[in-house]
Structures are given as C-alpha cells and as structure tokens.
Homo-oligomer: A and B are copies of this chain.
C-alpha cells in the first residue's frame, strides 16, 4: 500500500538508483535532481521501507535487550538508558523478558538472532545451566554485552561495582559507631551477593572489627525474606546486631518491619542499609538509606560498548569489562540523618 522507491522514480522520471542516491545524500546526484526528487518525496510523504533497507544493507538498526523482567524498576531504568543511546543513533530497541526461565532465554536469543538484530544486551541467567547460546554468540562473533558475569565466559560486560558499594555501606555504618553489623544475603544464585559479602568483610577488617560468622544470615530478594531474616536475628541467643546491611531494598524493608513490630526502633536501636534504590526507598516514612545502582548509566554504558563492538564486528577486540560506581544514598534508616522534609528524601527528577 505505501509508496515504493519505484513509484517515486516513475513520478520523478528518474531511475530507482537515483532516488536511492537522493535519499542517502549521495554527492553524485546533481543538486537540481536532488531538489526535484525531494519535492516529490515530500509531496507524497514517502518513507523508505526499512525492512528492504535492512535486507540490502545487512543491518537492521535494531538492538535487543534481554532482561529477567522489565517491570522490575532496576531493569526498566536500565532500559531507559539503553533507549537513550539507541535514540541518539537512530536505533530501535526490542525488549524481551526471560522471566527467569531458561528455556525462554534460549528461545528469545534465537528469535532475536533470526530477526538479525545488530546486537544484544543480555542480563543472563546465572548458574544452573551451561550457557550454550551465549557461547554460540561468541563463536559467531555476534555482537553482545552482558550485564552479569557468566563463569567461564570472557565477554563484554557492564555491571555495578558491588564490592565497593558494599564496602562503602559497611564503612558508613562503622563510622557511625556501629560494631555488630549483620549482613543479609541475597538469593543463592546471585554472584552479586557474594561480592557484596566480600566488600562487607573488607570494611570490617579495615576498621579492625572482628568478623562474626553468626552475623551472616541467609536472606533472598523479597519483602518476606527480609521479614523472616529479621525475626530470626531477633530470636537469637547471641548479641543482637546494632546495624544490618541487606542484599536489597525489599529485604531491608521487610526486616525493618519485623524489627519495629518487635519493638526495635530504626534507626535509634538498629541502623539499616539496603541496596539498589529502585524508588521505594525514598517513599518510606523513615526513608531508607541504600546503595544506589545507577541503572540508567549501566544501560547507557552497555549500549555504547555494544555499538563499538558492532562497528568492529570482524576485528578481534578483547573483551571490555566496565564497573559502574554505586552511590550511597544517605537517608534516615542508617541514623545519620534526622527526619527531614519530603524534598530532602526524594531524588531530583
């Protein structure tokens, strides 16, 4: 139904090659012809078919983003960053969710390859399976960037510096005079949780506070996990912690709820710090101090890296690993700030 390059050529009395030249601002087409053809293009509101273009150029101008779940604010903010860079380069973005399902990850990667997207940004499922598809991408020299480490795979990677983020958070608690700091870990599969534990330990040792195995508690990633971890900590026979560093904000909020229900005041009795800062933190009545992941920045950096990789498609460039710095958002639950006004607690936007 829409006009084709042939229709325009006929109307202008030139060949299709010439129209193509006009569209791509080729210097070989004369000014006169350019103007004449352009006028006709405008008049008929002709838009070249990008599918045909993609076929001819072997380049779709589309990138794929595969995450676990876009409705997770961490990923949707990331997607925003990806889109920003896409926009600047006239790319479009196909977003897919693996929903933490291995089969879907496989299927999606295959479909996106069939669609000949120019590159992929992947938050891969970790552990549990052999990531054959990712290895295949590498074999085929298909441009892609990972958003999480995959043991045994050396590829372009962008992620947050968990260890340093955790180190900062723990140090902050130590500087506030806390001595018995618990760490509530994330889900078993998360490598990030291990790295954060490392940063936590590093901070302790830096401040000469002895590490206590009992202060490490299994958590998870949901409100419930934090709530349960909180109850568990309270019911212990040993020294109750005077500070808790949690795997993420949900866990922190759940834990705080358990604590306040049992009469422990936050931050007066116990300081709490979370991780991610995906939005809820600043909305709480006692706003949550947390380690912010600059998700948008991660998305931007990953996309820039991917575009570079696409440019150097056949060249052998060794994998690039980019660590993004976290930001400690000091709010109220750590005890460093007094209760403030709304404005102070809300991120600027």
Chain A interface (Cβ < 8 Å from any Cβ of B)? 1-2, 47-52, 54-55, 60-62, 69-71, 73, 76-77, 79-80, 83, 90, 92-97, 110-116, 140-141, 223-224, 227, 250, 253-254, 257-258, 260, 279-280, 283-286, 342-343, 346
Contact = CB atoms under 8 A, between A and B. Distances in A.
A257 B115 contact: no
Contacts of A1: 140-141
A115 B346 CA distance: 39
A258 B71 CA distance: 30
Given A83-B96, A253-B283, A283-B284, A51 B47 contact: no
A254 to B, nearest CB: 6
B76 A116 contact: no
A15 B93 CA distance: 36
> Chain B CB within 10 Å — which of A71, A83, A280 has the most?
A71
Nearest to A71: B76
A50 B93 CA distance: 16
A116 B70 contact: no
Contacts of A342: 223-224, 227, 254, 257-258
A71 B69 contact: no
B96 A95 contact: no
B343 A47 contact: no
B80 A69 contact: yes
A51 B115 contact: yes
A92 B79 contact: no
Nearest to A228: B342
A50 B114 contact: yes
A223 B283 CA distance: 8
A316 to B, nearest CB: 15
A97 B83 contact: yes
26 contacts: A2-B140, A47-B113, A51-B51, A51-B54, A51-B60, A51-B115, A62-B94, A62-B115, A69-B80, A71-B73, A83-B96, A83-B97, A90-B111, A92-B94, A92-B96, A92-B111, A92-B115, A93-B96, A94-B94, A223-B283, A227-B342, A250-B283, A257-B342, A258-B342, A279-B280, A285-B285
A96 B60 CA distance: 16
Contacts of A223: 283, 342, 346
A245 B50 CA distance: 48
A139 B324 CA distance: 48
Contacts of A140: 1-2
A255 B62 CA distance: 43
